[in-house]
Amino acid sequence: MVSHSIVALISFVALSVVLIGVLGFVMHVRHKYSPNLIGALIGALMCFVLLETIPALI
């Protein structure tokens, strides 16, 4: 049986991949790349994973 927290982690990762992909596509279409925005988004996602999801799995 699959734990609810594992399903939540997998769905969060999938949603994050989709959101980062959409952000990259929009910046590619507009020809405006902002490394600060990309870094902030990835940092916020990693912070959420480290502070919320991993302790829930342990």
Each domain of the chain, given as residue ranges in start order, spans 4-57
Of 20, 13, 9, nearest in space to 42 by CA: 20
Q: Quick one: pLDDT at residue 58?
A: 66
pTM of the model: 0.54
Rounded CA separation 50/35 (Å)? 22
Q: Quick one: pLDDT at residue 1?
A: 66
C-alpha dist (Å) from residue 14 to 8, 11, 18, 29, 39: 10, 5, 6, 23, 18
Asked if residue 18 has pLDDT above 80, the reply is yes
